[in-house]
């Protein structure tokens, strides 16, 4: 049955048959934002207690368990924010967070302590300050719109923002990180696709998708609109225990993405956000998965497995190694070792 209203409260989830006791998640809902769009809710099988879509979006009491290493700002945004709404961690690119609302709220979100606040949308003066910061620094070549979800801005506001960024001479490209194509695909219209595809400076869209079932017919149709409009498409996936931490699940996802003209870009190890320990596999598990996928998938379907170092030191690849310089051997995707003596 189609659910036409975004689910935002424990009672909504109970009425939809997605939880059995609203009181069990009341405290979670008070601490962290809750929202499931009809598009997401329709993907969930309420009869499956291990449904991988539900695990990503439906709150659980496990989120109330915070471990010692977890932190509200796990990747150190605040330490690298010279003006409100902007993060400048790497020399050549900045993050810009025009708003902090999303169509859905993922239970593992690394900004979960901040997202959901409609009052945090950047004012015109704050945006002026952020863009002036970019304009004054010619080393900045890329502006990444994130949040929240930038595609929640609406076409008029988004178009005006893209035009302002494109007008900065030294900015070569814009990247948008979004969950909208899978969580609220009706927002991907032909007009939006043209808006993103037009202009001399490209807009790259990185779609957050963690499971092949999220690529519904509506989602695939939206991705097709974007691809045909000339928007380069990447994907970002978070490796999540109980959602996609098997070779078969990741292989199905990455194959589905390339069929839809989306290049798998990053497989993220989960960040140390509060209350997310039940989602984190070990890095060794992730490396083993990537090693197996190397022998099963084309190179264009292989993302880079990365860890965002806590505190703001940046992302680094943490995938398996194949070359042993000391032993002068190389390991094949099946685990066999071979001698290799470079000239």
The 10s digit of each residue's pLDDT in 252-308 is: 999 999 999 999 999 999 999 999 999 999 999 999 999 999 989 999 999 999 999
Tokens of 103: 């169509």
- With cut-offs at 50, 70 and 90, classify the pLDDT of residue 321: very high
3-class SS letters over the chain: CCCCCCECCHHHHHHCCCCCCCHHHHHHHHHCCCCECHHHHCCCCCCCCCCHHHHHHCCCHHHHCCCCCCCCCCCCCHHHCCCCCEEEEECCEEEECCCCCCCCCCCCCCCCCCCCCHHHCCCHHHHHHHHHHHHCCCCCCEEEECCCCHHHCCHHHHHHHHHHHHCCCCCCEEEEEECHHHHCHHHCCHHHHHHHHCCCCCEEEEEECCCHHHCCHHHHHHHHHHHHCCCCEEEEEECCCCCCCCHHHHHHHHHHHHHCCCEEEEEECCCCCCCCHHHCCCHHHHHHHHHHHHCCCCHHHCCEEEEEECCCCEEEECCCCCEECCCCEEECCCCCEEECCCC
Tens of pLDDT, residues 45-55? 999 999 999 99
Instruction: List, for residues 107-164, the tens digit of each pLDDT value.
Output: 999 999 889 888 889 999 999 999 999 999 999 999 999 999 999 999 999 999 999 9
Could you report the per-residue pLDDT of 225-249, keeping only the tens digit for each? 999 999 999 999 999 999 999 999 9
Residues known to be catalytic = 89-90, 93, 102, 106, 109, 111, 271, 308, 315
* pTM of full prediction above 0.85: yes
Where residue 343 falls among pLDDT bands split at 50, 70, 90?
A: low
- Please name each of the domains of the chain with its CATH number: 1-64 (no CATH), 67-331 (3.20.20.70)
């Amino acid at each position: 049955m189609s659910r036409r209203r975004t689910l935002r409260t424990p009672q909504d989830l109970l009425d939809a048959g997605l939880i059995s006791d609203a009181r069990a998640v009341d405290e979670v809902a008070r601490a962290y934002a809750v929202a499931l769009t009809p598009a997401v809710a329709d993907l969930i099988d309420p009869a499956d207690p291990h449904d991988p879509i539900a695990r990503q979006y439906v709150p659980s009491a496990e989120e109330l368990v915070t471990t010692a290493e977890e932190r509200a700002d796990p990747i150190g945004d605040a330490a690298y924010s010279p003006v409100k709404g902007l993060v400048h961690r790497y020399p050549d690119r900045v993050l810009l967070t025009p708003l902090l609302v999303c169509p859905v709220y993922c239970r593992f979100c690394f900004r979960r302590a901040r997202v959901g606040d409609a009052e945090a949308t950047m004012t015109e003066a704050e945006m002026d300050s952020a863009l002036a910061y970019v304009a004054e620094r010619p080393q900045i070549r890329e502006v990444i719109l994130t949040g929240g979800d930038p595609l929640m801005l609406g076409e008029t506001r988004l178009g005006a923002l893209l035009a302002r960024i494109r007008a900065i001479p030294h900015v070569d490209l814009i990247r948008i990180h979004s969950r909208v194509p899978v969580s609220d695909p009706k927002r991907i219209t032909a007009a939006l696709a043209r808006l993103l595809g037009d202009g001399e400076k490209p807009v790259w869209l990185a779609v957050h998708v963690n499971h092949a079932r999220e690529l519904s017919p509506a989602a695939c149709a939206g991705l097709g609109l974007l691809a045909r409009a000339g928007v380069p498409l990447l994907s970002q996936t978070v490796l999540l225990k109980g959602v996609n931490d098997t070779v078969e699940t990741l292989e199905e996802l990455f194959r589905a993405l390339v069929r839809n003209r989306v290049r798998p870009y990053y497989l993220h190890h989960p960040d140390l956000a509060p209350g997310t320990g039940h989602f984190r596999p070990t890095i060794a598990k992730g490396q083993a998965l990537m090693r197996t996928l190397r022998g099963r998938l084309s190179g264009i379907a292989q993302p880079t497995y990365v860890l965002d170092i806590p505190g703001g030191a940046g992302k680094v690849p943490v995938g398996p190694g194949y070359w042993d310089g000391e032993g002068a051997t190389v390991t094949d995707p099946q685990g066999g070792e071979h001698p290799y003596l470079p000239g």
